[in-house]
């Protein structure tokens, strides 16, 4: 009887071995996806899977950022195609009002003799357009539309970056670069939407596939301390870091 049972088991395994292996592999894939971990591209902390829809996200336990995993980052051509959809009418009142927290802040804090850079200016270069109307000395840098890498070798009194930092694939490198380009006492003006622990699945800001690194207030506090900024101001979407 035992021999018959062994034979029956062997026959079963021969017939269904492929199905069993397939089921096992699928189960392992699901387990791996649930246990997905990746290092935070800002602070390098091991981060666990946080959310998934068309892209997979991890949440950093240290700096509290949310980021898209490497395998789901858009290609450069996809990224540029998305950017080309952005508004380019520099005379549009709504567009000017949108960037006003940055332009008004710079006008309040600096004079036309100070030197500035708009990092990630986009096709329209709206911030430089507004400031140059008031004779401000500001240059435009953008890897797709104003690719002048020599500008990254200079020092500036202020740097603006509007709706740019959420696109950083390597935020640690980018913030180090921005920090090094600022003169002592200089200011970094940023605009982005900040994740405030709302339901992530319904948050509109993550729906843009090029928004690959998303910040919390804790993330900016970490940036301030790690990169040696003396002051941090957060007012809605505006973030200002001062050396």
DSSP of 72-123: GPPPHHHHHHHHTTS---TT-HHHHHHHHHHHHHHHHH--TTSEEEEET-TT
Rounded CA gap, 126 and 90, in Å? 6
The pLDDT of 57-85, averaged and rounded, is 92
Query: pLDDT digit string (tens) for 118-145?
Result: 999 999 999 999 999 999 999 999 999 9
CB atoms within 10 A of CB 162: 23
Rounded CA gap, 54 and 179, in Å? 33
For residues 160 and 189, the answer to whether their CB atoms sit within 8 Å is: yes
Rounded CA gap, 154 and 123, in Å? 22
Rounded CA gap, 4 and 109, in Å? 88
Query: Taking the chain, what is the end-to-end CA distance rounded to the nearest angstrom?
Result: 83
**Which contiguous run of DSSP H or E holds residue 128?**
helix 126-132
The pLDDT of 212-220, averaged and rounded, is 98
pLDDT at 11: 54
Q: What is the DSSP string of 53-72?
A: SSSEEEE-TTT--EEE-GGG
Rounded CA gap, 39 and 112, in Å? 42
Which is higher by pLDDT, 225 or 25?
225
Say how many CA atoms lie within 13 Å of 223 toward its Cβ. Answer: 31
pLDDT at 24: 42
CB atoms within 10 A of CB 223: 27
pLDDT at 182: 98
Question: How distant, in Å, are the alpha carbons of 119, 153, 167, 173, 208 from that of 74?
Answer: 20, 28, 10, 19, 11
Answer whether residue 26 shows pLDDT above 50.
no
Answer whether residue 158 shows pLDDT above 60.
yes
Q: What is the DSSP string of 1-23?
A: -HHHHHHHHHHHHHHHHHHHHHH
pLDDT at 5: 39
The pLDDT of 16-41, averaged and rounded, is 56
């Amino acid at each position: 009887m035992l021999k018959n049972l062994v034979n029956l088991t062997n026959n079963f395994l021969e017939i269904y071995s492929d199905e069993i292996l397939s089921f096992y592999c699928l189960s392992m894939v699901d387990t791996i996806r649930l246990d997905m971990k990746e290092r935070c591209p800002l602070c390098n902390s091991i981060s666990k899977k946080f959310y998934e829809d068309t892209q997979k996200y991890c949440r950093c336990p240290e700096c509290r950022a949310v980021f898209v995993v490497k395998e789901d980052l858009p290609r450069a051509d996809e990224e540029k195609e998305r950017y080309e959809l952005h508004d380019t009418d520099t005379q549009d009142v709504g567009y000017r009002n949108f960037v006003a927290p940055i332009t008004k802040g710079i006008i309040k804090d600096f004079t036309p003799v100070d030197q500035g850079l708009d990092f990630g200016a986009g096709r329209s270069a709206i911030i430089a357009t507004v400031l140059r109307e008031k004779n401000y000395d500001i240059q435009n840098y953008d890897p797709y539309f104003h690719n002048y890498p020599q500008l990254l070798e200079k020092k500036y009194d202020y740097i603006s970056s509007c709706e740019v930092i959420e696109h950083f694939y390597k935020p640690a490198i980018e913030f180090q670069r921005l920090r090094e380009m600022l003169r002592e006492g200089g200011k970094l003006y940023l605009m982005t939407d900040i994740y405030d622990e709302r339901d992530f699945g319904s948050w509109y800001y993550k729906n843009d596939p090029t928004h690959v690194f998303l910040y919390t207030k804790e993330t900016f506090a970490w940036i301030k301390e790690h990169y040696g900024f003396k002051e941090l101001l957060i007012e809605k979407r505006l973030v200002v870091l001062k050396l």
